[in-house]
Amino acid sequence: MSEICLIVDFGSQYTQLIARKLRELHVKSEVVTPKISLSEIETRKPLGLILSGGPSSVSDENAPHLSFSLEDLRIPVLGICYGMQWMVENLGGKVGGGEKREYGVEKIQIEGGRLFTEAGELSVLMSHGDHAAKIPDTFKITARSKKGVIAAIEHKERQLYGLQFHPEVHHTQNGNDILRKFLVACRFHFDWKEKNIFEEMKQHFVAQVGEGRILCALSGGVDSAVVAVLLNKIFPGQVDCICVDTGLLRKNEIQDLAKLFADKFHFPIQIIDSSEEFLSALKGIKDPEAKRKTIGRLFIEIFERESKKLKNIQFLAQGTLYPDVIESISFHGGPSAVIKSHHNVGGLPERLPFKLVEPLRDLFKDEARRLGEFLGLPHEFVWRHPFPGPGLAIRVMGDVTAERLRLLREADARLQEVLRESGWHEKLWQSFCVYLPVQSVGVMGDQRTYEDMIAVRCVHSEDGMTAHIAALPTPILEKISARIINEVRGINRVVYDISSKPPATIEWE
């Protein structure tokens, strides 16, 4: 098994970003609850432990904490923000109140230390009220903020470190270098790469599935395609791939997928045309959560129905990703808020006739893409922009109808063509159109029109957890608008979404 770093989730919104940053550095990481015991850690044999930030004060009655002292743990530990404060208290220091609150990018003065390259100023992201008032006698201060707050500490002898700032966010200068230095202190070999990921998945799923048959739910997107190829490589002859044509996919998506699998991987896909069922089930539903739940329920009903036509199906495989889980539930029962449910997670009924197989559940999107390339999927397919499980249903605001889906599908096809022709497609994390049930006055051929509206959304992101707008050049925006309005009958206005995440989400619903 690969070397691993455990990350204790004290409730920070950045906890999963820490995991992502470590994986970018080719170190396997796993988020665990503060309820983890010392004996469990010793059994897992991690090379290092990171304590995340969190919204609590260490003095709060119900503040999260570990049940043991770090004195009893003989591996390197890095405490971040709340994690540093808990480390200080746990080892005999004191944490003070919030008279020196710091939120946002601040300058700190480096005074030395093993995690920093050299002394001098560093720009970092602070997000704290409390701070270390007195550090344990066995520690020394390695950085301070302009307000005099202790910004970094380290044990004089052991590999124990504390950072009051967040090295995992891109606002922090040299954040990746700081994390890498900690991982070097842990003696990682930085070998968590696609081959290792595949081998561990193979070992895990061979033990879970054995000789059982798997029903693989293909949605038409990248994630489920990676799952299908992965499982067919591990279990040749044991996987039945069913692709449900919901009528909610992008233009020609089903046909392109069938051709890819037939030509490249030579295993069959059964395509079930269920578009009328989905349209009927969605009729009159405007609430986005109700749409997601309806689509998730119907997916399962269809797979149940189709599985009865197959022999001995025991497992249902789907392409759930780590961000799907993060946004759908409060991670490890912590304080993180539920943002929205995903059909792969919150849409499933409580009782399933299958056991779930979710190979990508612990992977971020970029990890799943790289795994797909390793497995042989074409680059241009693997690096397509993310597409939501509920499909175009959550890109049609309000009622979902066949005509609205047609308008949206044709508009989005024009958007993608312009982005590819201009070289912008691969520069973006995600791009798509949204149908708005808003009509406005226009003029075409000297005649008045009163037609529908399309919103265009293009964003930059690293993992979908945060995003900022893409500043497309005005000529590109004009070309997108002209192609949609001139070629998609029924649309006479195009608008550009300039909202970042947060406060908005990437998808509109």
In this structure, how many other beta carbons lie within 10 angstroms of the beta carbon of residue 58?
19
Q: Determine contact, residues 375/334, Cβ cutoff 8 Å.
A: no
Query: CA 355: distance to chain centroid?
Result: 23
The strand ranges marked E within 253-333 are 269-273, 313-317
Annotated active-site residue 166? The verdict is yes
Annotated active-site residue 304? The verdict is no
* Pair of tokens at residue 389: 């499980």
* Pair of tokens at residue 277: 């069922």
Q: Which amino acid is at 344?
A: N
Sign, CA dihedral 489-490-496-499, equals negative
Spatial distance between the Cα atoms of 305 and 318, rounded to a whole number of angstroms: 17
Q: Determine contact, residues 222/384, Cβ cutoff 8 Å.
A: yes
What 3-state class would DSSP assign to 86?
Answer: helix
3-class DSSP string for 392-422: HHHHECCCCCHHHHHHHHHHHHHHHHHHHHH
Candidate list 128, 131, 155, 166, residue with the active-site label? 166
DSSP state of 386: P
Give the phi and the psi of residue 235 in degrees, each rounded to 5: -125, 65
Candidate list 3, 102, 168, 327, residue with the active-site label? 168
Of 26, 62, 30, 64, nearest to 45 (Cα)? 30
Cβ-Cβ contacts under 8 Å for 178 (sequence gap 6 or more): 115, 116, 163, 167, 172
Q: Determine contact, residues 108/152, Cβ cutoff 8 Å.
A: yes
Spatial distance between the Cα atoms of 208 and 288, rounded to a whole number of angstroms: 35
- The residues that are catalytic are 81, 166, 168
